[in-house]
Structure 1
Amino acid sequence: MSNYVSYFLVPQVLVGLTVVALAAGGLTWLLRSRIQGSGRRLLFFLFLGGLGLVLVVTLLREPWLGACPGCLAEWGLEKVLAGRVSTEVWLNVVLFVPVTLFAVLLWRAPWRTVGAALLLSLAIEIVQPLVGVGANDLMDLVANTAGALIGAGVGAVLLLTADLIRERRLAPWRVVRVMLSLLVGAAVLVGAPAWMATSRQTAAIAQLEGMFAGTTLADFEANQEGAWAKQLQQFYLKSGRPVEVTRVGDSLARTRYTWNIYFAVRCVFAEWTPRGFTAVPGSGADCTVPLDQIA
Structure 2
Amino acid sequence: MKLIFLGTSAGRPTPERNVMSVALRFPEERNRFWLFDAGEGTQHRLLGTKLKLSKLDRIFITHMHGDHLYGLPGLLTSRTFHDGAGKLRVYGPKGLADYLGTVLRVSEAHLNYELEVSEIEPGDTLDLDDRFSVETAELDHRIPCIGYRITERPRPGALDLAALARLGVPPGPLYGKLKRGEDVALDDGSTILSSEVVGPPSDGRIVTILGDTSPCDNAVKLARNADVLVHEATFGAGMEEKALDYGHSTITQAAGIARRAKAKRLIVTHISARYGEEEVAAMVAEARKEFPELEAARDYLEVGVTP
TM range (shorter): under 0.3
Q: Which has the higher strand share?
A: 2
Q: Which of structures 1 and 2 has the bigger CA Rg? A: 1
- The one of the two structures with greater contact order (alpha-carbon pairs below 8 A, sep at least 6) is 2
**As a proportion of its length, which structure holds more helix?**
1
Q: TM-score, normalised by structure 2?
A: 0.22
